[in-house]
Structure 1
Amino acid sequence: MTEVVVTGLGAVTCHGTGVGALLAAVAAGRAATPDKLADDAAYVGAPLIHAVPGPVGEDGRRRAGAFAATAAVEALRQAGLTGGGPGRGGLGRGGLGRVGVVLGTCLGDGVAGTGPDDVVYRVAATLGELLGRAGRNVSVSNACAAGGFAAGIAADLIRAGEADVVLTGGADAYSRVGWASMDRLGALDDVRCRPFDRDRRGTVLGEGAGVLVLESAAHAAGRGATVLARLLGDGWSCDAGHLTAPEPDGTQIVRAITGALGDNRAVGAVIPHATGTPHNDRVESVAVREVLGADAARTPLYSLKPLIGHTGGASAALAAIVAVDILRSGTVPANAPVENPDPECEVYLPQDGPTPLRLPRVLVNAYAFGGNNSSTLWGCAA
């Protein structure tokens, strides 16, 4: 089977533009303090957001697309495939070959308080316009698992020989409808995102984008690209037992994880979906223990959402970027402090400092409304 590798990374988060800003926040090991919503017309009980600062899409229009384009330019530059910028298109030297875009999003790319019918598709189309050339362009909207599903679809395009290079990941931005809907569901915490904490009450939503350049190993080698990591496997499932909640026994979550791991269930670290909602964290804990067995007690989990919030369709992509950094550094970052660990969530969450990565395999989980489950497995470059 065609080997799929990572040659570029790009990110936009509440910590600023660039992968470096994200990884600096990860290294600090502290929970981020969310902002208060600046939208006076939004009446929600938990009016918090991890907002992207600065001028990127600040007028509220095409905001997610702007995030995605900014992250894509960074990823393409690292991959040695462009000298252009958002809105300029223009790919530089580097032999791009057959190119595709597969991008996940929950809320699309409209104006903050509205929802035109085609807003979801504009986010992926923004990257197609950036590339300035025809090719596969797929928008994935499997809710908060969209970024994970997007990576799997991108890898399939490469494995099937339909593309040499695919820009994949996810992007989401503030939407009044999106925030209000989550608030009405009782899914938001009015303090901060506190995964696996006994006092957790929900998640805190955030803005952001994560983009990865995936290539066939042969194409990357042919143009002399530096390989950052490999996508070893991906697994999908759908339990469809409830509109918003996973099955209590985690059967289909286990199915997605084992689909990504294949015959070898040993991993060095897990980046869980870990939204901070009471039911979801508990079910994911059960599923991880079932798959990893006795190794679960010594396999570190790194929970990203306390630092950047729940970025929807971007969450799995940003987690994959952190997974690549874990593989390259050989260490798992310290988690933001968990003040009151939930005894029903028996997972290993190191908080005192970086933990050595025992095995060069990092699992990333992403789950969503509608029972959509996705897991991806990332490995080191060599």
Structure 2
Amino acid sequence: MTTQVVITGVGAVSCLGTGADALWRGLLAGGGSPAPVPEPHMNMRATTMYLVPEPHPDEPKELGHVPLGIGPRFGVAAAREAVADAGLDDTRSLPVVMGVEMGNALVHEQQRAATGDIGRWTPLMVTASAVAAALGSTAANTSVGNACSAGGYALTSAMDMIRAGETDVVLVGGAEAATRVGMGGFDRLGAADPVRCRPFDHRRSGTLFGDGAAVVVLESAERAAARGATPYAELAGGAWSCDAHHPTAPDPSGTQIVRCMREALADAGATTESVGAVLPHGTGTPLNDLVESTALRTVFGDACDRLPLLALKGSIGHTAGAAGVFAAVVAALAVRRGQVPPNPPTEQDPACAVYLPQGSAVPLERPSVLVNAYAFGGNNASFLVRGVRA
């Protein structure tokens, strides 16, 4: 028997506010809006993001000699919420796995802008270490950095750690902050939408980033039951694939993302008929949305006409390495509360033949949510969040 892995705590910091409840309420209200990035030298087409409202967390300020920017601080804030939500009293032996793309890059940029030099070199990928240190953990901490699917890979890696018996509890999350380098890269690629993130909309012209952090506590069901914890949901299965078609563009055939979804369902022992909703990757880039919607129809067939999709990035922006964990938090809340929040107003592209509920939440008729997280280089991850089995 495969060890059952459950979600017992959630935490979030997003453009919709601080806390997982703020995230959920904001989604029900229609999501957030982009705002100008308060950084100099924004000489690019798209200069806005879905930004976490101030005041930002001001602790921890450093890790050893490394000054910490707001990205790692978002991660610490969300981690503390998730730990408290799960009711974990002792975090000294709690492993930490974080999906992070740009990490502490904002600190480097600000130092270089101010002085022309970054001074003493410091690493970018310090978020997992910062979270572990803030929680007093001396267990292993791992940073997963394979671009925008990092959160999905972090979650499924942590799930495998529990299944393999390496541990019975893991803190897993993702955290990102605004960076000119990250935004400028997408701008030069022509992949940034200057208006908003508009997944599956016929007007979409690229993605638009959001900052913040999302964290979950994963436990074996046996450990959770022994300490009297009430799980939100089960992380029932997951899968990875890589199409390696192009450095940035997805394979137009969608073969490997179809494979990824099907293998995630198989790993969970689930069928397409048991899935009640999908949180797609849905970046708002023209090719990605077309390929993903076509792949969804390959997997789910005509059920796509009535299977609710929540394109989360339309509400909170593309949170890069944290995106998969944000989706996991929302999926867990959807399973617990039995509903799927609405998408922001969308003028749907008829070529993207999927069901995007708008205006108000819809019932989650089957307590099972499939999540997709994709990235440059063809890195794909899918996982299933569902109601806890008796």
Deviation at 1:65, TM superposition (A): 0.9
1:118 aligns with 2:154: no
2:301 is equivalent to residue 300 of structure 1: no
* Aligned counterparts of 1:330 and 1:375: Cα–Cα separation in 2: 21
Q: Which amino acid aligns with 1:101?
A: V
> TM-score scaled by structure 2?
0.90
Percent identical pairs in the alignment equals: 50
After superposing the two structures, state which structure 1 stretch, 283-292 or 327-336, moved more: 327-336
- Work out whether 1:100 is the aligned partner of 2:104: no
1:179 to 154, 176, 183: 183
* Matches of 1:374 and 1:126, distance apart in 2: 25
Q: Per-residue CA shift, 1:12-33, capped at 9, x if unaligned?
A: 0012210111111111125x22
Alpha-carbon offset, residue 97 of structure 1: 8.4
1:202 matched to 2:206: yes
Cα distance in 1 for partners of 2:161, 2:360 equals: 39
Aligned match for 2:172, one of 144, 149, 168 = 168
Once residues 353 and 123 of structure 1 are traced to their aligned partners in structure 2, the CA distance between those partners, rounded to angstroms, is: 36
Which is worse superposed, 32-41 or 206-215? 32-41
User: Do the aligned partners of residues 117 and 239 (structure 1) sit closer, same or farther apart at CA in structure 2, a change above 3 Å counting?
Assistant: farther
Contact kept in structure 2, 1:98 and 1:162, CA below 8 Å: no
Match of 1:85 in 2: none
Q: Structure 2 matches for 1:275-290, cutoff 5 A?
A: 275-290=283-298
Quote the residue 2:104 is aligned against.
Answer: 109
Of the structure 1 ranges 128-137 and 327-336, higher mean CA displacement relative to structure 2 is found in 128-137
CA drift at 1:100: 1.1
Pairing 1:49–2:49 present: yes
Alignment of 1:196-275 (within 5 A): 196-262=200-266, 264-266=271-273, 267-275=275-283
- 1:319, 1:364 within 8 Å by CA — same for their partners in 2? yes
CA distance in 2 between partners of 1:209 and 1:148 (Å): 14
Name the residue aligned to 1:369: 376
2-structure distance, mates of 1:117, 1:365: 33
CA distance in 2, matches of 1:252, 1:97: 39
Of the structure 1 ranges 41-50 and 72-81, higher mean CA displacement relative to structure 2 is found in 41-50
Please give the secondary structure, in 1, of the residue aligned with 2:207: coil
Partner residue of 2:354?
Answer: 347
SS of the equivalent of 2:241 reads strand
Closer, same or farther: CA 352–206 of 1 in aligned 2, 3 Å: closer
RMSD between aligned residues: 1.7
Q: Within the alignment, does 1:5 sit opposite 2:6 as a pair? A: yes
Take 2:190 and 2:108, find their aligned partners in 1: how far apart are those partners?
A: 21
- Paired with 2:134 and 2:92, the residues of 1 have a C-alpha distance of 16
After TM superposition, give the deviation of residue 55 of structure 1 in Å.
3.0
Deviation for aligned residue 1:175? 1.2
Say which SS state the counterpart of residue 166 (structure 1) adopts: strand
1:324 partner amino acid: A
Deviation at 1:134, TM superposition (A): 2.0
Per the alignment, in what secondary structure is the counterpart of residue 281 of structure 1? helix
- The residue that corresponds to 2:148 in the other structure is 144
Q: CA deviation at 1:307?
A: 1.4
- TM-aligned CA deviation for residue 298 of structure 1: 1.3
The one-letter code matched in structure 2 to 1:294 is D
Letter in 2 for 1:329: R
Contact 2:281 2:373 in 1 (8 A): yes
- For residues 141-190 of structure 1, the C-alpha deviation after alignment (integer angstroms, 9 at most, x for no partner) is 01000000000000011111111110002111111111111110111111
Tell me the distance in 2 between the aligned counterparts of 1:363 and 1:75. Answer: 22
Deviations 1:318-343 (A, max 9, x none): 111111111111111221111x2111
Are the aligned partners of 1:107 and 1:178 in contact in 2 as well (CA < 8 Å)? yes
Distance 1:343 1:186 in 2: 23
Distance change >3 Å, CA 112–CA 186, structure 1 → 2 = farther
* Residue 23, structure 1, aligned to residue 49, structure 2: no
Contact 1:99 1:164 in 2 (8 A): no
- Other-structure match for 1:88: none
Counterpart residue number, 2:115: none
Contact 1:97 1:164 in 2 (8 A): no
Gaps of 5+ in 1: 83-90
**Matched length:** 367
Task: Give the CA deviation at 1:117.
Answer: 6.0
Identify which range, 278-287 or 38-47, moves more after superposition: 38-47
Which residue identity is paired with 1:119?
L
